Amino acid sequence: MKRIAPWICLVLALAGCSLRHASRAGSTTLQVALSLAPDKLDPTFAGTACGRTIFTAMCQKLYDLNSKDVVVPQLAAGLPRITDHGLTYTIEVRRGARFSDGTPLNAAAVKTSIDHYRNTTGSSRAAELLLVKSVTVTAPYEVQIRLKSPYPALATILADRSGMVLSPKRLAKLGVNFGQDPSCVAPFKVHSRPSANEIDLEKDPDYYDANDVKLQKIVYKVISDPNVALANLRSGATDVAEISPVVASTIHKHSVRVLSTVGLGDVHLTINTGNVHGSDAPKGTVRTPLGADPRVRRALALAIDRNQLVHIAFGGLYAANCSPIPRTSPYSTPAIRKCPPADPAKARALLKQAGAKTPYPVELKITTLALDQRVGQVLQPMLAKAGFKLTLRSEDQTTVVADQDAGNFQASISDWSGRLDPDTNFQQLVGPTNSGGFADKQVTRLMSDARQTTDVTARGRIYAKVMSRIDELVPSIVLAQIAETAVARTGVSGVHIFNDGLIRVDGASITG
Amino acid sequence: MGRLLLRRAGESLVTLFLASIVVFVGVRAIPGDLANTLAGEQQDPATIAAIRHQYGLDQNVLLQYFHYLRQMLGGNFGTSATTGISIGQNILSALPITLELALLSIVIATIFGIGTGIVAAVRRGRPSGWLANVLALLGMSIPHFWFGVVLILVFAIAFPILPSSGFVPLGTSIGGNLESMIMPAIVLATGLAAVLMRQTRSSMVEALESGYVRTAQAKGLSWANIVFVHALRNSLITVTTIAGLQLGGLISGAVIVEQVFVLPGIGKLTVDSVFARDYPTVQAVALIIALGYIAVNFLVDLIYMVIDPRIRLRGAIA
C-alpha cells in the first residue's frame, strides 16, 4: 500500500489539473492565433495582413465589405454621394459614436484622419489617397472629398485602412507614435501588448453597439507553425487560428471547423519583359525569346492547365482564374472570366513559329514556401509537354522580392492579396511599377479610361479590353484566385472570414 | 589573479566588439531591404524613400555602424521597425522567461542526467544500465520540435493536464507558472540531460575503478557512502564544467522550444522578428545573445580559477 500511495496522489493531482483545462464554455476571452507578428497598430504605417485582421476588432472604417463583396457603411451613415462627374464624394458620418478615449466621432475627426494619412511622411496610405485634392467639413456630420481626377476605387479604399478614423485627441497627443496607444471607434480597444508577439484587446463599453458584443477580451498571439497552431486549437488553448490553405486542406478529419472562402487576390506568373535596371527605372527590353517575343509567352500560357493546378497544388480550395478580377466581382464579365483551355500542341506550334529551340529553358523563381514549391512542381510536367524545360530556383521570400525589384529574374511566382476594385488589382499586375517592367500605351490609356466612370457595366467593358491586350502580350499569367482560410474550434461561433481574407471575431462567442 | 581577471575581461570586450561587427554585417547581408518590407504590398517609391531615411539606411555603412555602436553603448536599442515598441522593453520582458526556462531545464537535466549517469555506471552491463544508455541516446537524438509536439498531443490533448501554450508570470501564480513551463523545460532539458548522463557515467566508471574507492570498500564503508560521497563527489568537477558550458546551448535551443510552446521569450522574439524582417530587433537580440555567451564563458573562466588553483598560478606567472 505504501508503494502505491504516491502514485494515487499523483493521479489525483493530475486529475485536479485536468479539470482546469477541460472546457472553455462560457469564457469571454477569445484566443486567436496569427501566423505572423502584426506590425504597428497605426493604420497610417501598417502593412501586414495580420495587422488588418486585428484592426477589424479595434479600428472601424468609414466603409466595410460584407460577405457578398458589397461596400456597406460602417462609420459612415450611408454610401457616398458621388457628384461633379465623379470628382466629389460627400460622406455623411454616423452620429452618436465615440472613440475609445471618449472623444465624439464627427466630420472633423474624419477630415483629420484622412489629412493625416495623406500628409504624414512615410505614410503607407499616401499612395492610396494620391488622387485626393482636398477634404472639407461641410457640416458637423458631413465631409466632402474632392478628387484631382475621377477615382471609382475610392469607396473600396475607404473600406480598408485609409478609411479608419483615428481619435483626433489621441492623434494630437501622440502624432506618429499613435500606434503605441491607439484609439478608434470599435467594439474593442487595446488593453496591452505584453510582448512583441501578443496583443490583448478589451471590450469598449462606449462602443455604439456594445450590447451586441459578447466577448470581454480578445488575445491575439503569434503561432507561426501550423502544426503547433492546430495542436493548440485541439487542446482548447486557442479558439481561432489563421492557417494556410495547404494545411487547411489536410485537417478535415480533426475536431475543428475550417472556414474557407475564395479571396480577392490571385497567384500569377510574372515574366520579365522590360525590367532591366530595376522596377522604378525606365523600362527596357529583355533580349531573350521569352522576354521579347509575345508568341513564346502565349505558348507558356497555353501550356498551363489551371484546373489541374488548382486541384493538385491548391488542394481544390483556390479557383482557376485568368484575370486579376475576382470571379465573384460584378466586373467579372463572361468575356473576362473566359479562360483558354490548356493546349500543348498549339503551344508547341507557337514556339516553333517564334523560332525558339525546344526544349526552351525557363527559370522560375519561387520562394521556399510549400505552396510555391507545389505550384512549381506541378507546372514542370505541364510545360514539358508543350516544349519548355522549366527549372525551379527556390529562394528566401525577401530575396525573391528583391530580385523581382532588381529585374534579376526570367519568370517568378507572385501573390497579391487583392482588392475589391479592379483598378488596384490591375495596377499591381501591369501598373507603372510592375516588377516585370511591362509598359504598354494601350493598357495605360484603357486603365485611365476605366477610372473616368463609376458605371460598373462600362468599366467591365473597358477591363475586358485590358484583358484582351494582356492575353495578346502576356506580361503576366494569372493562375488562380486565392482562397482565404482560417480554423476555429467547434465550440466557437460567430467567427467569419470574408473574401478580403480578414478574420472577423468581434461578434464571436464561446459555447463549448 | 587580478591581472588574469583583467586580461579575461579585456578579451571578452574585444570578442563583444567583434561580435557587434559580425551582427551588424550579418543583418545587412540578409537578402532584401527593410524599407521594401515595411512599405507593404504596394511598394510606393516615396514611402520606401521615407522609411529608408527614417532608419538611416540612406547613410553610408560606416556611419550606420557608428550610429548603431553609439546606441548600443548607451543602452538604447531603438524601436522595433515593425511594431514601433521599444526594443529594450521587448528584450526586458522576454529575457526573464528564457532565463527561467534555461534554469528549470538545467535543474531537470542535472537531476535526470546525473541520476541516470550514476545508474548506468553502477549497474553497467545490466538491463537498468542499458536502459539508462538508451535514454541518453534518445535524449541526444530526439529533435526538440518533434518531442514538444508529442508532449502537447499527450499532455494537453489526449490527457489534458497541462496547457499546450502560453506563459503565466511567476508573480501571478507559482502553480500556473510551473504548469506553463514544465513541458518546455523538459523538452529543452533532454539534450543537456543526455550529455550530463554520458559525462557522469564515464567519470563515475573511472572513479569506481580508482584506488581510493577500493580503499573505501576495504574500510567497510556502505555502498551508498562510496557511490555518493566518494565517487560522485570527484566526478562532479567535470560534470559541473560541462553543465556551465551547455548554458549557451540552452539559449539557442530555446529558440525552437519557445516557438512550439508559444512562450514569449528571447527565442520567440528572435524568430518572429526574423519572419517579420524586423532587422533592428534581430540586430539587438543577436547582440544580447552574443553578450550572454561571452558572459557565461567569462563566468566559467572565473569558476575554473576558483576550482583549480593551477589556472590561477599559471595566470599569475604569465
DSSP secondary structure letters along A88-110:
EEEEEBPSS-B-TTSPBP-HHHH
Model confidence pLDDT, tens digit, residues A396-417: 877 888 788 889 999 999 888 8
Q: Do A177 and B84 touch (CB under 8 A)?
A: yes
Kindly give the residue spans of alpha helices, DSSP state H, lying in A226-369.
Answer: 226-235, 245-248, 289-292, 294-302, 306-313, 334-337, 344-353
Amino acid at A386: A
Nearest one of A335, A354, A276 to A468, comparing CA atoms: A335
Chain A residues with CB under 8 Å of B284 CB are none
* 3-class SS of residue B57: coil
Smallest Cβ distance to B37: which of A37, A395, A398? A398
Nearest one of A186, A169, A206, A190 to A57, comparing CA atoms: A186
Mention every residue, 6+ apart, whose C-beta is less than 8 A from residue B195.
Answer: B113, B140, B242, B246
Q: Is the pLDDT of residue A20 over 50?
A: no
Model confidence pLDDT, tens digit, residues A410-452: 999 988 888 888 998 998 899 887 889 999 999 999 999 998 8
What whole-number distance in Å separates Cα of residue B109 and Cα of residue B126? 23
Element (H, E) at A80: none
Grid cell in block for residue A14:
493530475
In chain A, the N- to C-terminal Cα span, in Å, equals: 40
Chain B residues with CB under 8 Å of A401 CB are 32, 36
Interchain CB contact of B51 with A (< 8 Å): yes
* 3-class SS of residue B59: coil
What b/e string do you get for A414-448 counting C-beta neighbours within 10 Å, with b at 16 or more?
bbbbbbbbbbbbbbbbbbeebbbbbbbeebeebbe
Interchain CB contact of B93 with A (< 8 Å): yes
Taking the model in full, what pTM does it have?
Answer: 0.80
Pairing of strands A217-222, A29-34: parallel
Interchain CB contact of A42 with B (< 8 Å): yes
Q: Counting Cβ atoms within 10 Å, is residue B164 exposed (0-12), middle (13-18) or buried (19+)?
A: buried
Model confidence pLDDT, tens digit, residues A331-381: 888 888 888 889 999 999 999 999 988 899 999 999 888 889 999 999 999
Q: Is the pLDDT of residue A122 over 60?
A: yes
Q: Do B165 and A17 touch (CB under 8 A)?
A: no
In angstroms, the separation between the Cα of residue A368 and the nearest Cα of chain B is 13
Model confidence pLDDT, tens digit, residues A488-510: 988 898 999 988 889 999 888 88
Question: Which residues 306-365 of A are in CB contact (within 8 Å) with B?
Answer: none
Beta-sheet strand order (sheet of A142-147): A81-83, A88-92, A142-147, A132-139
Model confidence pLDDT, tens digit, residues A312-336: 998 888 999 999 998 888 888 888 8
Tell me which of A361-365, A374-378, B49-53, B238-242 is least confident: B238-242
Which pLDDT score, from 0 to 100, does residue B41 have? 60
Which pLDDT score, from 0 to 100, does residue B32 have? 66
Q: Counting Cβ atoms within 10 Å, is residue A32 exposed (0-12), middle (13-18) or buried (19+)?
A: buried
Chain A residues with CB under 8 Å of B149 CB are 227-228, 231
Q: Is the pLDDT of residue B128 over 90?
A: no
Torsion of CA B33, B37, B38, B39, to 10 degrees: 100
Q: Do B259 and A228 touch (CB under 8 A)?
A: yes
Smallest Cβ distance to B44: which of A127, A194, A402? A127
Chain B residues with CB under 8 Å of A238 CB are 165
> In which band, very low, low, confident or very high, does the pLDDT at A22 lie, cut at 50, 70 and 90?
very low
In angstroms, the separation between the Cα of residue A414 and the nearest Cα of chain B is 11
Q: Count CB pairs under 8 A between chains A and B.
A: 166
Q: What is the mean pLDDT of residues A145-158?
A: 92
Nearest one of A496, A483, A470, A427 to A265, comparing CA atoms: A483
Q: Is the pLDDT of residue A1 over 50?
A: no
Chain A residues with CB under 8 Å of B160 CB are 18, 21-22, 235-236
Which pLDDT score, from 0 to 100, does residue A184 have? 96
Which pLDDT score, from 0 to 100, does residue A320 have? 92
Kindly give the residue spans of alpha helices, DSSP state H, lying in chain B.
Answer: 2-29, 34-38, 45-54, 61-73, 87-122, 127-141, 144-152, 174-208, 211-218, 223-224, 232-260, 266-275, 279-307, 309-317
Grid cell in block for residue B167:
506563459
In angstroms, the separation between the Cα of residue A366 and the nearest Cα of chain B is 15
Interchain CB contact of B172 with A (< 8 Å): no
DSSP annotation of B149: H
Which pLDDT score, from 0 to 100, does residue A253 have? 59
Interchain CB contact of A281 with B (< 8 Å): no
What whole-number distance in Å separates Cα of residue A441 and Cα of residue A444? 5
Q: Is the pLDDT of residue A19 over 50?
A: no
Model confidence pLDDT, tens digit, residues A263-299: 899 999 999 999 988 877 788 888 899 999 999 999 9
The chain B residue lying nearest A192, using CA atoms, is B85
What whole-number distance in Å separates Cα of residue A288 and Cα of residue B148? 51
Are the C-beta atoms of A413 and A366 separated by less than 8 Å?
yes
Interchain CB contact of A394 with B (< 8 Å): no
Q: Is the pLDDT of residue A195 over 90?
A: no
